[in-house]
Amino acid sequence: MSVQVWTYILVAITFSLYIGIALATRVRDTRSFYIAGQGIPPLWNGMAIAADWMSAASFLSITGIIAFSGYDGSVYLMGWTGGYVLLALLIAPFLRRFGKFTVPDFVGDRYGSQALRALAALTAILISFVYVAGQMRGVGVVFSRFLNTDITTGVIIGVFLVFLYASLSGMKGITWTQVSQYIVLILAFIIPAAAISLQLSGNPIPQLGFLNIVGDLDSLQRDLGFAAYTAQNKTNTDIFAITMALMVGTAGLPHVITRFYTTPTVQGARTSAIWAIVFIAILYTTVPALAIFAKTNLINSLENKPYASAPAWFKNWEKTKLVVFTDKNGDGLMQYKPGAAFLKTPTGGNDFAKPDPANANELYIDNDILVLATPEVANLSPFLIALVAAGGLAAALSTASGLLITVSGAVAHDIYYKLINPNASEGARLLAGRITVGVAAIAAGYFGINPPGFVAQVVALAFGLAAASFFPLLVLGIFDKRMNWQGAMSGLLLGLGFTLIYIINFTPSLGGRGAPADLFLGISTTGIGTVGMVINFVVAFAVSRLTPAPSQHVQDLVESVRYPSGTLTEAQSH
């Protein structure tokens, strides 16, 4: 059977599974809708966390980033993995002990400020929408290639599916859907990587096979005029800032933190984090190997080959405009060299009608296609090619659903119920949550069709915002009894405000006009969240010491939360 037929079959099977789980786990109360009734065992919660975490950025884009940036791309692996260590040690068990539905719930009660609760809810919505844009973009990329639709149609299909199972079953159904999605995506990632490793190195274990290839890729890149694959191009300052921003951003992402509310006990929250690291490591230790395999095959398949006889995979992806050739010198041969193939548009995209005359590169290759295209480049079976497509969809949809529940919680629970209508019935609150999921899904679809960058770049911006906002807010709320709402709000506003303005100023697709020479200490937009975090911590600490201390009740509450050996009583939690 052809790739397209296999793709239809696997997508139909997996989508039916996701919808079936949603129908079987329909919920009728807000506790199940937002935190799965706190009945998810740690092992399965760890697997769901891994699926929630291994988004389109992890599955589709990070391999492309590492393949095209080499050593510098390793910051994503270090930062994202290290974030779970911080979660397990500093945040997850303490918030689970507090026993609320959402992160803004903790913020509002811990600091005793409804204004800060509202600000935290708006921040959660902002971060979630930035993050979900990358997921919907990933769905569109998969559909556009393998199901012969354009990216817009693919995004609309993804939005409808994720709305269907998220609104029906909330966090309870999403949890079990994410367990199934983890199984799909990890098989889709590992099996092709093992097959390609065997092809190129004679070793079916990718983590070992890449050691035989990396030296050859270094030489191949230098021959083409690129820097060596293992060379460091970013400054140490920027590498540190990016790694730190991704690490603390991970520990501050509201949709990830919410998953730790779903376990029966505090110890279960810790154990979930450990299982999540194990499940994530299976994929992340494979990523560098697949990146090297993919880049080697890509260069060998295209460089200096006649365009007229380009391989079938190239022609297939060319239809999506995610791979584009321009014959600058008129010789009919494809030249893959340093530099941009096309001039940039005012928003930072590619103007495919205007080849860049400043360099000899004739190929534009989108980062997001590499994992999806590599099985075709390696001439693997149609079944494996289709399996990768199903895995990419599973990765994007698993994270998108978690993000939609986070947005729903922020709007329907923290703003509507806690601030606007505290007397709302259980049915009204559940209806508000489902309506919010629908509205959020539509908004997510729009941002997926019009994203401010490629998948991992968009997602990385969300980490910077989380690093500058929620991480200091939560850590100080847990470990500093003297921290009050005045300090927390001041730190949040200045840290988040600085980071947001910096990102907008230096991101062309957001209208930014800042020049690279103007970067603060040479720190890129991906790493600026580290500076925002420092600003938040310093301002919050200083302001809290210049303003009245929180009440003794709040200080006692903080003290009790720091010893996660049980659960608070209803009276203590309020």
Q: pLDDT tens digit string along 402-428?
A: 888 888 888 888 898 888 998 988 889
* pLDDT tens digits, one per residue of 462-486: 788 889 999 999 999 999 999 999 9
Instruction: Give yes or no for residue 546 having a pLDDT over 90.
Output: yes
The percentage of residues in the chain with a pLDDT greater than 90, rounded to a whole number, is 20
* pLDDT > 70 in the chain, percent: 92
pLDDT of residue 489: 94
Q: What does the buried/exposed string (b/e) look like for 9-38 if buried means 16 or more CB atoms within 10 Å of the residue's CB?
A: ebbeebbebbbebbeebebeebbbbbbbbb
Domains of the chain: 3-294+376-454 (1.20.1730.10)
- DSSP 8-state symbol, 350: E
Token duo for residue 517: 């020479």
568 pLDDT tier (thresholds 50, 70, 90): very low
Tokens linked to 112: 């005793």
Distance of alpha carbon 437 from alpha carbon 262, whole angstroms: 19
Each residue's pLDDT tens digit, 431-467: 998 898 888 888 888 877 776 554 455 666 778 888 9
Whether the CB-CB separation of 424 and 131 falls below 8 Å is answered with: no
Residue 180 has pLDDT above 50, yes or no: yes
Q: Would the pLDDT of 547 be above 90?
A: yes
DSSP-derived secondary structure letter, 333: B
pLDDT at 474: 92
pTM: 0.81
Tally of CB atoms within 10 A around 69: 18
- Given a contact cutoff of 8 angstroms between Cβ atoms, the answer to whether 433 and 121 are in contact is no
Q: What residues form DSSP beta bridges with 344?
A: 350
Nearest residue to 338 (alpha-carbon basis) of 68, 46, 47? 68
